[in-house]
Amino acid sequence: MGDKAGAAREIAAGYVSSGAVLELGSVYLDGKADPGALVRVPLAMLNRHGLVAGATGTGKTKTLQNLAEQLSGAGVPVVMADIKGDLSGLCRPGTESDRTKARAAETGDDWAPTPYPVEFFSLGDDGIALPVRATLTQFGPILLSKVLGLNDTQESTLGLIFHWADQNNLPLLDTKDLRAVIQHLTSDEGKADLKGIGGVSSATAGVILRALVNLEAQGGAQFFGEPELDPRDLMRQHEGKGVITLLELSEQQTNPKLFSTFLMWLLAELFEVLPEAGDLDKPKVVFIFDEAHLLFADASKAFLERIEQTVKLIRSKGVGVFFCTQLPTDIPNNVLSQLGARIQHALRAFTPEDQQALARTVKTYPTTPHYKLDEALTSLGIGEAIVTVLSERGAPTPVAWCRLRAPRSLMAAIGSEAITEFCQVSPLHPKYGQTVDRESAYEKLTARIAESQAPDGEAPAPEPERAPARRAAAEKEDPGMLSEIMSNPAVKSFLRSAASAAGREITRGLFGNRRR
């Protein structure tokens, strides 16, 4: 018995930290949890990222809830997707029961029911929470290509179309703007413009247009528009606790590419907004990608390269990223190698493919004399995991079979009506509650068509964006003279140069998203 306790304490010694930590649970060895042998993650190491993996029903969601609670308690904001609606209970205190008492005794936890500050968002207007939106100009062509399911050639074409819109000062705020731009470029009037942006074929542009129309038919268009989410609103505190931003995505389960790519957009936005911070005592914010396999499935090479680059670079800006999925093999190797913390729930080995995945997973762990990992990974109970993290000096900790702590908030959904009530009193409701539809590419191109179709001798319709003084001055001009001036090649060349100069002010980041 003493040898077992000694071995458990030996494992736990690798998790001792002099700084602030997240408490995961206690070491489980030879069928018994030792409440004095604690498994911890140093807060300072969370910007080295992590992975939570395991088969369905093994307790991954409760692990995410536990991580979010403790991060919030340490003053660190958290952003995570609530795909099934299970995490909304974070805003209410948990319920004490015999099971929570037993789990607290096993894990050395002084469990107490605790609520945490939560902000609820939904993609677009049809959700139950605050609508979150992004403009297409800000979203960028690479992320949009992932949503539309475009191949590499089509993605390149979409990038050229965005570039043309940028250079011609045509803001792409929502899908009707991009549709108008593509329709213009594939029309007789726009053939010259299409030819001038790299010999893009009209057939490829047509494929993109059809994919965009399909997205609109599936309800995906409601996400794009204004007011656009400011990523700095995700980095708030309330009474010393970090605010947990939950993206309620139960309404978007039929469009997984959209919500997974949206999370990547948020991360890319933070990358552009935040300054370099170096090593901190705790991260500025932690992102949790649930159902992470959706992010990487059918992704283009350019998209995968940018994810890898973002994960590598965003650490220095004080941002931690956790991926949650069923199998570690769902994550590309170049990304997986960047993840310092591993919380692996039970794996199944029912098929030859499962057995191969199990063998590959075992090889990614440090060697341990205490467990046969191939057997342990298939024998873990609910709420147990094989854990290894980075110690505060950056070295891998010993492999631990960990009995995980119970969450302190409510381990159940609170219901859509309660979420809506939370949102009505949110301080962000006045900012994001109402949709804004200002002038953009659709209106500008429509006005251009109307102007070109005006009968000879009639003044073209005034542009909506003109200031009143400028509009009045234009009305005093002789229509024939104005037409003659506008048809002058030198004037046309000047206007094109001015539009290009304005467009060049838009620069794009890693994912083609607009820099702020």
pLDDT digit string (tens) for the chain, length 516 residues:
456 668 999 999 999 999 999 999 999 998 899 999 999 999 999 999 999 999 999 999 999 999 999 999 999 999 998 887 889 999 999 999 999 999 999 999 999 999 999 999 988 777 789 988 889 998 989 889 988 989 888 998 999 999 899 888 999 999 999 999 999 888 888 878 887 777 678 889 889 999 999 988 887 788 899 998 898 899 999 999 999 999 987 666 667 777 788 888 888 888 888 999 888 999 999 999 888 888 888 777 878 888 888 899 999 999 999 999 998 888 998 899 899 999 999 998 888 888 888 998 898 888 899 999 999 999 999 999 999 999 999 999 999 999 999 999 999 999 889 999 999 999 999 999 888 888 888 888 888 777 776 665 555 545 444 444 433 443 333 444 434 544 544 434 333 333 333 333 456 666 666 655
Domains and CATH numbers, the chain: 2-133+226-414 (3.40.50.300), 148-224+432-516 (no CATH)
Report residue 99: phi and psi, to 5°. -70, -40
Contact 148, 239 (CB under 8 A): no
pLDDT at 470: 36
- How many whole angstroms separate alpha carbon 136 and alpha carbon 497? 24
pLDDT at 113: 97
pLDDT at 458: 56
- Neighbouring CB atoms inside 10 A of 235's CB total 20
pLDDT at 194: 80
DSSP E strands in 266-306: the ranges are: 285-289
pLDDT at 456: 57
- How many whole angstroms separate alpha carbon 266 and alpha carbon 404? 30
- How many whole angstroms separate alpha carbon 499 and alpha carbon 396? 54
- How many whole angstroms separate alpha carbon 404 and alpha carbon 346? 13
Contact 167, 500 (CB under 8 A): yes
Let me know how many helices (H) and strands (E) the chain has, helices first.
21, 14
Reported as type and span, the H/E element at residue 319 is strand 319-325
Distances (CA, A) of 265 to 201, 259, 361, 404: 28, 10, 29, 32
pTM of the model: 0.84
The number of residues making up the chain comes to: 516
Task: Extract the tokens encoding 302.
Answer: 């350019």
DSSP conformation letters of 437-496: ----HHHHHHHHHHHHTSPTTSPPPPPTT--HHHHHHHHHS-HHHHHHHHH-HHHHHHHH
pLDDT at 435: 83
DSSP E strands in 373-456: the ranges are: 384-388, 400-404
Contact 238, 76 (CB under 8 A): no
Contact 4, 29 (CB under 8 A): yes
